Structure 1
Amino acid sequence: MSPVITRGADLPADAGHVAGRSSSELVSHIAYLARVLKTPIIGRIWAELATQAREEHWSHEEYLAAVLARQVADREANGTQIRLAGAHFPQVKTLEEFNVDHQPSLRRDVLAHLAGCAYIGRADNVVLLGPPGVGKTHLALGLGLKAVQAGHAVLFDTAIGWITRLRDAHTEGRLAAELKRLRRYRLLIIDEVGYIPFDSAAANLFFQLVSTRYEQGSMMITSNMPFGRWGEVFGDDIAAAAMIDRLVHHAEVITLAGDSYRTRARRELLARDPAAATRTTPPATGPTD
C-alpha cells in the first residue's frame, strides 16, 4: 500500500505546480514559499541570482546551490552576532591583534591549535597564567571570539562577577538550576582569578562551578597567580589543589612572562621623548591584561 501523504493546512493545493504560471504569479509564489520556509534572504536574492544564472549559463544545480549558500551565510552571520552579544565580552579583541613577538614564551603552534577550538569539542580547559599586563585577558577574549565564530555559546565574566552570579543564585535557592543553565554554554571564561582573595563561601561556590564543568564543558581561566599560590586565593591549600586537579586534568596551561605592555609602552615612549615624563600620556594600545 502506498503511503498517505497529507498536505499542510496552510499549503495551497497547487503549491507544488509551477509549470504554466505567469511571471508575476511565479514571483508571488516564490515570495510565499520563502515566507513559509522562513528564509527571507532567498525571498530577496533569488531574482538577482536568477538573472546572473541566465547570463552565466549556470546549471539548475549551480543556481540552487548559490541561493541556498546565501541563505546559510546570512543565518550563520546572524547567529554569530547573537552569540557575540550573549558572550558579554567587555570589548572585542582578536588574536590577530595580539603581538606574539612580545611573548616569546607563547608558542605559535599552541595558539593556532587553540584558535581551531577543537578543545571545546573535548570539553578541555585553557588556563592562562602570568603577571599583570602580559596579555592574558586579550588572549582570552581573542580565543573566546574564535569560539563564537565557530558556532559555540560562550559566556565571559571576571572571577568576582562569576562569584556574584553564583552567590545570588545560592541566596535565592536556585544554585543547582543556575549551574544546570550554564551547561548550555560550551565555554565559560573566568577572568582575573587571584586579584581578590575569596572567602570560604565564595571558594565553595567556585569549586562547585569547576566540578560541574569537569569533562562536561570547557573553561578558560586567567590568573596572575601561579598554581602554587592558589591556596592564598581560595583560603585553603587542599581545596585549591582539588580545584586545580579538575582544571588541569584535560587542559592547556600557558604561562606568559615578560613586562607589562603598559610598562613597556611607557618605557619606549620615554626613550623617544624624555620630556614625556612630565606630561600626561594616553594609555598604551597593547593587549589588555
Structure 2
Amino acid sequence: MINQTTMNQLHEMHLSYLAKDIRERIEDKSFMELSFEDQLTMLVDREWHRRKSRRITDLTRDALFCYKNASVTDIDYLPERNLDRRLINELACCGYIANGQNVIVMGATGVGKTYLACALGTAACRERYSARYVRIPDLLEELSFAHSDGSYRNIIQPYRKVRLLILDEWLLSPLGAEAAKEIFEIMECRSVGRLSTIFCSQFDTTEWLERTCNDLLGESLLDRIVHCSYKIVVGGESMRKRRGLKD
C-alpha cells in the first residue's frame, strides 16, 4: 500500500495522473501479482504516453491551423491532382524539418494547398515539433499594429523561432518594399536557425521575383527560400467545387 505522504509528494511534483493511476492499480489484483519491475514499467509507460498525447494536443492547438483535423492519411490522391504520395509520406516523417528545409506548395485556387500544408503541420506536431499557421495578409496586419503599439519584438518572435511556419496566400498580393522587408527579417532569422517554412502560393516560383518588389531585397528574400525547398504542384479542379457537386 502506498502511504499518503508518497501520494502528496507525487502531487507536489505535478504527477497527479500518476498518483491516480497508482491508486487505481493497487486495487487491481492482477496488477499486484506482477513483479515490481513490470509494475514500474506499466506505470511509467502509461505516464509517458499520457504526456506525449498532451504535448501533441497542446502543439496542435497552439499552431492555429486553418484545418484543425487535417491529416496526411485523408489526402485525396485523385490522378488529376498529380500528387506524389511517396514524397508527401516522406515529408510527413519530418526529415525536412530536422534538416532545416522548406516546402513550397503551388496550385490554383481551391485545389487543396492549405489542407495539404495543415496536414504536414499536424504531422510535425505529432513528431513534437512546434508549428504555426498564418495567412500573409494577417501576418502583415499583425506586424503593422505591433509597430504602432510597441509590441513588435514580442509579436515577431514566434514567427522567427517556431520550428515549422506555414505561410498561406504567399504572394497572392504583391509585396511592397516595407512588407518585403518585414518578411525578409523573419526569413533571415529562420534561415540562420535552419528552421523550416511551408509556403502556399498560386504562383510558380519563376513569377515570385516580380511580386516581391523586384529588387535586391526581393532577390535576397527568395534566395533564402527557393533553393532549399521541396516543391509540390497540386493539379486538378477546385476541391470546393468538387465537394459542392457531390453535395
Q: TM-score range by the shorter chain?
A: 0.7 to 0.9
**Structure 1 pair 70/199, CA: closer, same or farther in 2 (3 Å)?**
same
What is the distance in 1 between the residues matched to 2:110 and 2:88? 18
Q: Structure 2 unaligned runs (5+)?
A: none
What is the distance in 2 between the residues matched to 1:116 and 1:232? 34
Q: Structure 1 unaligned runs (5+)?
A: 1-22, 270-281, 283-289
Deviates more, 1:31-40 or 1:235-244: 235-244
Q: Which has the higher contact order (CA 8 A, sep 6+)?
A: 2
Which position in structure 2 is the counterpart of 1:3? Answer: none
Select which of 233, 240, 243 maps to 2:211.
233
1:149 and 2:129 equivalent? no
Which position in structure 2 is the counterpart of 1:127? Answer: 104
Aligned length: 245
What is the distance in 2 between the residues matched to 1:259 and 1:177? 40
Write the deviation string for residues 200-243 of structure 1: whole angstroms up to 9, x where unpaired.
Answer: 21122112211221141111110001112223432325443332
**Structure 1 pair 162/53, CA: closer, same or farther in 2 (3 Å)?**
farther
**Structure 1 pair 36/194, CA: closer, same or farther in 2 (3 Å)?**
same
TM-score (norm 2): 0.88
**Structure 1 pair 106/238, CA: closer, same or farther in 2 (3 Å)?**
farther
**Structure 1 pair 212/57, CA: closer, same or farther in 2 (3 Å)?**
same
**CA displacement at 1:51 relative to structure 2:** 4.8
Q: Is the 8 A contact 1:127 1:221 kept in 2?
A: yes
What is the distance in 2 between the residues matched to 1:53 and 1:166? 60
TM-score (norm 1): 0.76
**CA displacement at 1:185 relative to structure 2:** 1.1
Q: Secondary structure at the match of 2:78?
A: helix
Write the deviation string for residues 54-88 of structure 1: whole angstroms up to 9, x where unpaired.
Answer: 45842211110110111121112222222122111
Select which of 58, 72, 82 maps to 1:82.
58
**Structure 1 pair 85/41, CA: closer, same or farther in 2 (3 Å)?**
same
Within a 5 Å distance, the mapping from 1:19-98 to structure 2 comes to 23=1, 26-52=2-28, 54=30, 57-92=33-68, 93-98=70-75
Q: Secondary structure at the match of 1:67?
A: helix
Which position in structure 2 is the counterpart of 1:262? Answer: 240
Q: Secondary structure at the match of 1:243?
A: helix
Within a 5 Å distance, the mapping from 1:201-220 to structure 2 comes to 201-216=178-193, 217-220=195-198
Q: Secondary structure at the match of 1:42?
A: helix
Q: Is the 8 A contact 1:198 1:235 kept in 2?
A: yes
**Structure 1 pair 97/126, CA: closer, same or farther in 2 (3 Å)?**
same
Select which of 76, 91, 114 maps to 1:114.
91
What is the distance in 1 between the residues matched to 2:81 and 2:61? 33
Q: RMSD in angstroms over aligned alpha carbons? A: 2.3
Percent identity, aligned pairs only? 24
Q: Is the 8 A contact 2:25 2:31 kept in 1?
A: no
What is the distance in 2 between the residues matched to 1:67 and 1:55? 10
What is the distance in 2 between the residues matched to 1:139 and 1:69? 33
Q: Secondary structure at the match of 1:195?
A: coil
Whichever of the two has the greater Rg, that structure is 1
What is the distance in 2 between the residues matched to 1:113 and 1:159? 27
Q: Is the 8 A contact 2:107 2:233 kept in 1?
A: yes
Which position in structure 1 is the counterpart of 2:163? Answer: 186
* Residue type of the alignment partner of 2:89: A
Select which of 75, 78, 100 maps to 1:101.
78
* Residue type of the alignment partner of 1:170: H
Q: Secondary structure at the match of 2:224?
A: helix
Deviates more, 1:95-104 or 1:129-138: 95-104
**CA displacement at 1:176 relative to structure 2:** 5.1
Q: Is the 8 A contact 2:205 2:226 kept in 1?
A: no
**CA displacement at 1:41 relative to structure 2:** 1.4
What is the distance in 1 between the residues matched to 2:67 and 2:225? 26
* Residue type of the alignment partner of 2:53: A
